[in-house]
Amino acid sequence: MAMLRGFLLLFIIFSMGNAGADLAKTCPVGWTNFGFRCYKFISQPANWITAERNCQSLGANLASVRNKLEKNFLLSLLPSSSTRSWVGAHDGVQDGQWMWSDGTAFLYTNWCPGEPNNSQTENCLEINFSPNRCWNNAPCSILKSSLCVKDLCSHPAPQLL
Ligand SMILES: [Ca+2]
Ligand SMILES: [Ca+2]
């Protein structure tokens, strides 16, 4: 009976046409789904801008964080509790004005106590800093692992030429 219900559910889903197709969307191989986005941990150490460009080459950006659930999920992607990793926020345009590279509004934060500090020299955001696994601003030139994000339903940009 449970099996029959399962088949029925599948039938209903696939009968929904485009809606069914959307439900069936999955992240590319090597990416992990959370919510409506796909995430990838990049172990190769890089400075912040190189890490962002690398994410862009994969059709993504350095990860933005919108809430506590996403913050915790990103931590779960790190190979150890001491792996400090770049995400997509910087205040390089204007000191103290933090922005996410993917355009997400910078609203949720998880700064460590006393952070962000050294406002002129630390313009990029790393996660998993200190035993509290909170956020730190650090010099963008430091080499770290990184986390990329892209939308589950994103499509390649149309070729203009
Ligand atoms: Ca700064
Ligand atoms: Ca700092």
79 CA to middle of ligand 1, Å?
Answer: 28
pLDDT at 4 over 90: no
Q: Give the rounded distance of the alpha carbon of 12 from its chain centre.
A: 32
116: CA distance to ligand 1 center in Å? 8
Q: What is the pLDDT of residue 105?
A: 98
Structure confidence at residue 15 as a pLDDT band (50, 70, 90): very low
Counting ligands in written order, the one closest to the CA of 96 is 1
Cβ 34 vs Cβ 147: under 8 Å: no
What confidence tens digit (pLDDT) does each residue in 22-66 have? Answer: 455 899 999 999 999 999 999 999 999 999 999 999 999 999 999
What pLDDT band is residue 17 in, cutting at 50, 70 and 90?
A: very low
Confidence check: pLDDT of 12 > 50: no
DSSP reduced 3-state for 160: coil
Q: Which ligand is nearest to the CA of 129?
A: 2
Task: Work out the average pLDDT over 87-105.
Answer: 97
Residues 71, 134 contacting (CB under 8 angstroms): no
- CB-based contact 101:56 (threshold 8 Å): no
Q: What is the DSSP string of 75-99?
A: HHHSSSTT--EEEEEE--SSTT--E
Q: How far is the CA of 130 from the centre of ligand 2 (A)?
A: 11
Confidence label for 13 from pLDDT (cuts 50, 70 and 90)? very low
Kindly report, residue by residue over 100-148, the tens digit of the pLDDT: 999 999 999 999 999 999 989 999 999 999 999 999 999 999 999 999 9
Q: Could you give the CA distance from residue 154 to residue 116 in angstroms, rounded to a whole number?
A: 32
Contact 134, 112 (CB under 8 A): yes
